Amino acid sequence: MHMADALLSPTVGVAFWAASGATLAWCSRRIQKDTRDYLVPLMGVLGAFVFAAQMINFTLPGTGSSGHIGGGLLLSILLGSPAAFIVIASVLTVQALFFADGGLLALGANLFNLGIFPCFIAFPLIYRPLLARAGDHPSPRRMGAITLLATVVAMQFGALGVVIETQLSGISSLPLGAFLWLMQSIHLAIGLVEGIATAALVLFIRQARPDDAVSAAPVRFPIRLIAGWGLAAVITGGVVSWFASSQPDGLEWSIAHATGKAEVSEPESALHARIAALQKHSAVLPDYKLGNAGNAPSAAAKDVPTPQESKHAVWPAVDGRTSLSGVVGGVATLILIMAIGYLSYLFRRRRQDSGATAGPVVP
């Protein structure tokens, strides 16, 4: 569901940059008040895992399309909404800057669709209330059903967001009715698969660590949990990524079926040209492959490939370049999140020191 710059007008792109940026600033202030000493390391390894997991497109049988997880709800369950949004923002930023996956102008919109909807709509308004009604010890079946429902809702809102943002931009020839139907239907299937995977992971963690409450502080520093997610990120990015489907993803598939064309036209605005040039130079591993530096595909061509190109692709695609991209991207995401966490720690210490220096107010 990573949008290309070719779908957005400068006005819409900048507006969603502002909305997502304001949300990110608020989340950064919130985690400064979080007292969990393990939070930032856990955010880092989970970010690396989600980066690697998003590389793995799964085939949707009978559709000619594929999908990948968003990870927003899983992160919210494990970390809480503010920390989860920071992790998603870090993942999408690394993808756009270094891998040309999603446009730079569209980054704010992608943050909104893949971050705000699962972290601030599906998690607090659907997952938590339904889980609270299920009691202190919900059955695995009920907990799984709640997770599945929340994931599907988040994915449907994200798909709707793509359609609305594209139509507000008015620079593409996508017909509203057909594009809306295709996006919602294919992302319903993607949401069901992600929901099942998310529920399985949450139930596994619940069974493996019954002494820990999800999204609450564990009784001890969860070193094994952090190490486990780190190992899962390396294995997923380094090996499991070979098994990704070569079929076009849900957005690409919807565009192709709505227009009959493999890709949308490249916008002619000066801003689009400047941003495309910037991304071409920043994307050192375009399309998750080493050796294409300086030849990053345009935003339109990258995000809307020709579906026929994948018909005879070899599977699994055992490729050391893909493994390198998965590991490098995961490490870059980890470093970015740790840097954000360190800056938040410095700001918190500065506020605490300022409060201690001021001393009590004597009337």
Instruction: Examine residue 272 and state whether it is found in any structural domain, yes or no.
Output: yes
Write down the residue that tokens 């102008």 correspond to: 105
Instruction: Examine residue 360 and state whether it is found in any structural domain, yes or no.
Output: no
Write down the residue that tokens 């929901």 correspond to: 195
Instruction: Examine residue 118 and state whether it is found in any structural domain, yes or no.
Output: yes
Angle at 249 between CA 107 and CA 167, to 5 degrees: 55
Q: Are 177 and 259 in contact (CB under 8 A)?
A: no
141: exposed, middle or buried (C-beta count within 10 Å: 0-12, 13-18, 19+)?
exposed
Q: Which domain holds residue 147?
A: 5-351
Q: What is the pLDDT of residues 136-185, one digit of tens each?
A: 788 999 999 999 999 999 999 999 999 999 999 998 888 999 999 999 99
Instruction: Examine residue 358 and state whether it is found in any structural domain, yes or no.
Output: no
**Model pLDDT, residue 209:** 64
**Model pLDDT, residue 201:** 92
Domain count, the chain: 1
Which residues make Cβ contacts (< 8 Å) with residue 213, sequence separation at least 6? none
**Model pLDDT, residue 337:** 95
Instruction: Examine residue 233 and state whether it is found in any structural domain, yes or no.
Output: yes
Which stretches of the chain drop beneath a pLDDT of 50?
A: 213, 293-294, 297-307, 310, 361-363
Instruction: Examine residue 264 and state whether it is found in any structural domain, yes or no.
Output: yes
Ramachandran region of residue 359, left (φ > 0), alpha (ψ -120 to 50) or beta? left
What residues are paired with 65 via a beta bridge?
60
**Model pLDDT, residue 363:** 44
**Model pLDDT, residue 261:** 78
DSSP H helical ranges for the chain:
10-32, 39-54, 72-79, 81-99, 107-111, 117, 128-133, 140-169, 176-208, 223-238, 250-259, 270-282, 299-303, 320-358
Q: What is the pLDDT of residues 211-235, one digit of tens each?
A: 554 555 555 677 888 899 999 999 9
Of the candidates 73, 78, 87, which has an alpha carbon nearest to the alpha carbon of residue 27?
A: 87
Instruction: Examine residue 188 and state whether it is found in any structural domain, yes or no.
Output: yes
Query: Which two tokens mark 267?
Result: 């916008």
CATH number of the structural domain spanning residue 275: 1.10.1760.20
Q: Are 119 and 85 in contact (CB under 8 A)?
A: yes
Instruction: Examine residue 362 and state whether it is found in any structural domain, yes or no.
Output: no
